[in-house]
Amino acid sequence: MRIVIALGGNALIKPGDKGTIEEQQKNISASMSGIVDLIKEGNQVVITHGNGPQVGARLIRNEMADTEIHPDPLVLCVADTQGSMGYMIEQGLMNRLNQAGERPNVATLVTQIEVNPQDSAFKKPTKPIGPFYTQQKALAKMKNDNWKMVEDSGRGFRRVVPSPMPLRVVNPEALNTLLSAGFTVITGGGGGIPVYRQSGKTGYQGIDAVIDKDLASVMIAQTIEADMVIILTAVEKVAINFKSDNPTWLDKLTSREAEHYLLQGEFPAGSMGPKIRAAVDFVKDDPKKVVLITSEDKLSEAIAGKTGTRIVQ
């Protein structure tokens, strides 16, 4: 099978971690067991990943250094974290494959993903990123840097940025070439680097935004005609009535059931919602395609059908 595995950015930084590189490398190594098993079984694997905590740290460094050097734009922070996290995941997977006696054919592909600059998301930024600010500093950022800021759960003010729909991978030939040569490919980190086609020109231009990682993962899966998407998250199964005293854990969901629960508000936009929407997009037109949602430590068990939630047409 050809499988896309989406790692969450929080998979690299656990609750209570300080976020050091050593901690992230340790967490990456621990999360590779199930992926190594899939590769050993002969599956072609593509790994995508989030970058929320990492790009947030990058933006804090921007803030702390803004009196000394010019801060980098958000699009460059996304590119930087895609490269640095790709390096750590690539190295961790190569080491685990070596230990398992497998050929460590792993490559990281820094990926640009085209978006529409007229996407309605650019008129209404909603994705919170980066550090918390006092109201005074938030007002200064809004005035001086033209940032959009919102108050976030009583913890201070945060910048919000657009989260446009991904349209296509800019370099699909490179991805398919690596897969055809037998490589496990790490790509689309942080949802990919958002770029748009310049009007009246043949080139591309980066744009400050954050593409949803799960939507980008499904688009990549569709691009390479993958059979399966695995979304690794903090829970081993999807649940309805999740915050109640008696949640219902689901082994399987049809796309119709998933859409029904989305309309009922069971899957909030800030947590499981984007994952379920991405899953429905992937399976709705093909009865052979499957999305599996589970936690990284339960991946092998979920592949064996012992846990996890499978979403099908």
Which amino acid type is present at position 2?
Answer: R
pTM for the whole structure:
0.91
Is residue 64 situated within a structural domain?
yes
Is 213 part of the annotated catalytic residue set? yes
- Catalytic one among 50, 56, 213, 308? 213
What is the model's pLDDT at position 10?
65
Range(s) of the domain holding residue 74: 2-51+59-113+167-312
What is the model's pLDDT at position 62?
84
Is 9 part of the annotated catalytic residue set? yes
Torsion of CA 54, 55, 61, 65, to 10 degrees: 160
Vertex 53: Cα angle to 51 and 58 (nearest 5) = 85
Count up the domains in the chain and report the number. 1
- Catalytic one among 86, 275, 289, 308? 275
* Side-chain-side CA neighbours of residue 204 (13 Å): 17
In sequence order, the 6+-apart residues with CB closer than 8 A to the CB of 194 are 75, 78, 112, 113, 115, 164, 206, 207, 208, 209, 210, 211
Is residue 131 situated within a structural domain?
no
Is 10 part of the annotated catalytic residue set? yes
The whole-angstrom separation of Cα 247 and Cα 257 is: 17
> Which residue in 230, 211, 218 sits closest to 282, CA to CA?
218
CB-CB contact of 133 with 56 (8 Å): no
Phi, psi of 127 (to 5 degrees): -90, 110
- Catalytic one among 9, 50, 190, 191? 9
What is the model's pLDDT at position 153?
67
Helix (H) or strand (E) holding 19: none
Is 289 part of the annotated catalytic residue set? no
Is residue 43 situated within a structural domain?
yes
Is residue 201 situated within a structural domain?
yes
Taking only the tens place, the pLDDT of each residue in 173-220 is: 999 999 999 999 999 999 999 999 987 777 899 999 999 999 999 999
The whole-angstrom separation of Cα 21 and Cα 28 is: 10
What CATH number is given to the structural domain containing 65?
3.40.1160.10
- Catalytic one among 127, 192, 237, 289? 127
What value does the mean pLDDT take over residues 33-47?
94
Is residue 183 situated within a structural domain?
yes
Question: pLDDT category, 108, cuts 50, 70, 90?
Answer: very high
What is the model's pLDDT at position 54?
85
Taking only the tens place, the pLDDT of each residue in 47-73 is: 999 888 888 888 888 878 878 888 889
Is residue 141 situated within a structural domain?
no
> Which residue in 52, 217, 14 sits closest to 128, CA to CA?
52
CB-CB contact of 184 with 46 (8 Å): yes
Question: pLDDT category, 158, cuts 50, 70, 90?
Answer: confident
Taking only the tens place, the pLDDT of each residue in 211-250 is: 999 999 999 999 999 999 999 988 889 999 888 888 899 9
Is residue 149 situated within a structural domain?
no
CB-CB contact of 35 with 45 (8 Å): yes
Q: From the CA atom positions of the chain, what is the Rg in Å?
A: 19
What is the model's pLDDT at position 20?
87
CB-CB contact of 290 with 227 (8 Å): yes
Is residue 224 situated within a structural domain?
yes
Vertex 201: Cα angle to 195 and 203 (nearest 5) = 40
What value does the mean pLDDT take over residues 23-28?
88
What is the model's pLDDT at position 17?
81
Taking only the tens place, the pLDDT of each residue in 256-299 is: 999 999 998 888 876 788 899 999 999 988 899 999 999 888 99
Residue 131: is its pLDDT beyond 80?
no
| Burial class for 165, CB neighbours closer than 10 Å (0-12, 13-18, 19+) | middle
Is 275 part of the annotated catalytic residue set? yes
For the sheet with 168-169, list strands across it.
Answer: 168-169, 112-114, 193-197, 204-206
Residue that is written with structure tokens 């994705």 in the block: 127
- Catalytic one among 10, 105, 116, 171? 10
State the average pLDDT for the chain: 90
Length of the chain, please?
A: 313
Residue 253: is its pLDDT beyond 80?
yes
